[in-house]
Amino acid sequence: MAGNVIELTDAEFDKTLNEATGPVLVDFWAPWCGPCKMIGPVIEELAGEYAGKATFCKVNTDDHRETAIEYQVSAIPTLILFKDGQVAHRWTGLTAKKDLKAKIDEVLAE
């Protein structure tokens, strides 16, 4: 994955989540998903804006189903914001950049 977004596998997920400093936003997506393609550039932009403050990751649900099942991802795109390894917020479907920023900023301020 280009830029500051990390492409995660099932095997890497927990380690990445546990080693991250600051919040982690995970985008559960698939290559065939139209809305996923639309939100991808937003995630890239946010990753650049929050570089050094938050971690941004993507999990391809076609290739890495275990993690999607563990977090009960039943529709994509699903975005999950983690703080200290715990789910702080989740969105399903297209989500506005301003809404993502507001929640990330809130978690960073805690």
- Given 36, 47, 76, 107, the catalytic residue: 36
Q: Is 57 a catalytic residue?
A: no
Tell me the C-alpha distance between 4 and 84, whole Å: 20
Residue 33 falls in the annotated catalytic set: yes
Is residue 18 helix, strand or coil? helix
CB contact at 8 A, 76 and 25 = no
- Give me the catalytic one of 33, 54, 79, 80: 33
Could you list the active site residues?
A: 33, 36
